[in-house]
Amino acid sequence: MVQVLETIISAFNNIFSYKIRSFLTMLGIIIGVGAVITITGIGNGVKAGIFSELSSMNKSMLVVMTNNISRNSVITTGQENNDHLNNDNSNNNDKDKDLNITEGDYVTLDDSKDIAKIPGVDAVANISQFKGKVILRNGKTRRDAVTGLDNNYTAIDNFNMLYGRFINKADVDNGSYVAVIKDSVSMDVFGRLNSVGEKLEIETNESGVVYFTVIGVVAQSDLSISSQRFLENNIAIIPITTAGDVFLKEDNVDMATVILKVGTNASNIANKISKFLDMKHDKEDGYLVINQDTILDMVDTIFNSITAFVSFVAAISLLVGGVGVMNIMMVTVTERTREIGIKKSLGSSSGLIQFQFLIESIIITIIGGITGAILGFICTISLSKIINLISPLKIIPNIQLSVIIGVFIISILIGIIFGVAPARKAAKLDPVLALRFE
């Protein structure tokens, strides 16, 4: 027992006698462990942030739309949306022709009223997007999305109004020519944040130039993730009834979001809605009814798969680090050949010599694992704060203890696996030849 303790102390002394080399030896382990913890922590944090965002609504929701409209709907984001909206020669009905959608296939405002009567449904928020052009204060024009919403949308996202108010029931019922705009649009068009009462001029392909009275300015940074997504390239939010009139879509909507009452079975309601729409429009399997729980399950599966794959790739650096440990330990055995010969001549067994070099390898990987875990924790917290500053999604750092324990055990195993060869080489040295080694 005394010999074992002395061997462990000697191993520590040898490691700390060559600090720089020891650090470089364990660098691969540090990076590997740190990368795995950071990736899993951020991945779980993003997933937790999305779940928290959806759960904060305290509502279960269903999304209803025509079964094939989702492939080419203007409710999209990014470059795809910009390309679609910037095409002056396109018409809002082009997508209908491409997809064989007739006017009778769309979900309508009347459909939404009927869906709202289904037991368990709390409200239905209708959404449509079209194209319009505004003149900016610098004389340039901007062609982007004009979104038609109704007052029920506030059940999904409580807009933080900087000035004025949001669209109300009277605006929708009367088809009022009013608009809510984002703070960025207000600055671009009017040169100030408070533009309530101003006339917003929107040029459309369908109705020419149309004037809307600005009734509210909303802070884009305070929108929910879902609202941020489809309002990213938006120039105005108008009552959905007014949108149908201006863009000649009557009471057709691109998407209806069904908000369910607490405790309602979402799957049962989804089946009822699907059957009701198929029967009313005489179109078998003509409508998508997407369950929020299904979306959450998809998000969970996707993020778990991505996190697992990226973590696996990051873990490869642990193997690289293990090879580095083995190479340095091989060099160490060569450098300490005379020391090994002296110990053997004084009675140290081959097993004790092998144990000493093996324990050095394990200690290096353990220290590397601990350092990597600390580095991973710091990186996870720091990256989460940076992402939270620049993204609407609020990441909740989630470093699981099981991940830390797992990579720590893997580090020890790497120390054992890659330390065996150098340790056996040291144990097999002939003491006579070792003493003669220069």
Phi/psi-derived region of residue 263, left when phi > 0, alpha when psi is between -120 and 50, beta in every other case: left
Where are the alpha helices (H) located in 90-239, listed in sequence order?
94-99, 109-116, 169-174, 183-190, 225-230
Residues whose CB is less than 8 angstroms from the CB of residue 168 and which lie 6 or more positions away in sequence, other chains included: 151
* Least confidently predicted of 130-139, 146-155, 161-170, 226-235: 226-235
* pTM more than 0.75: no
Confidence band, pLDDT 50/70/90 cuts, at residue 80: very low
Q: Are 152 and 259 in contact (CB under 8 A)?
A: yes
> What average pLDDT score do residues 183-192 get?
91
Q: Are 256 and 111 in contact (CB under 8 A)?
A: yes
Q: Are 123 and 152 in contact (CB under 8 A)?
A: yes
Confidence band, pLDDT 50/70/90 cuts, at residue 2: low
* Least confidently predicted of 56-70, 115-129, 407-421: 56-70
The pLDDT value given to residue 437: 64
Highest mean pLDDT: which range of 78-82, 176-180, 355-359, 360-364 = 176-180
Two tokens at 384? 């989460």
The pLDDT value given to residue 225: 63
> What average pLDDT score do residues 88-92 get?
45
| Segment 95-148, tens digit of pLDDT | 444 445 566 678 889 999 999 999 999 999 999 988 898 888 887 888 888 999
The pLDDT value given to residue 97: 44
Average pLDDT value for the chain: 81
C-alpha pair distances (Å), 375 with each of 27, 276, 282, 323, 406: 12, 56, 60, 21, 16
| Segment 340-388, tens digit of pLDDT | 788 778 877 888 888 888 888 888 888 988 999 999 999 999 998 888 8
Question: Is 70's pLDDT higher than 70?
Answer: no
Confidence band, pLDDT 50/70/90 cuts, at residue 75: very low
Residues whose CB is less than 8 angstroms from the CB of residue 339 and which lie 6 or more positions away in sequence, other chains included: none
| Segment 282-313, tens digit of pLDDT | 877 778 888 877 777 777 888 788 878 877 87
Question: Is 7's pLDDT higher than 90?
Answer: no
What is the rounded CA–CA span in Å between residue 50 and residue 344? 62
The pLDDT value given to residue 61: 83
Question: Is 175's pLDDT higher than 60?
Answer: yes
The pLDDT value given to residue 212: 95
Residue with tokens 């979001």: 257
The pLDDT value given to residue 89: 42
The pLDDT value given to residue 165: 93
What is the rounded CA–CA span in Å between residue 280 and residue 267? 20
The pLDDT value given to residue 71: 36
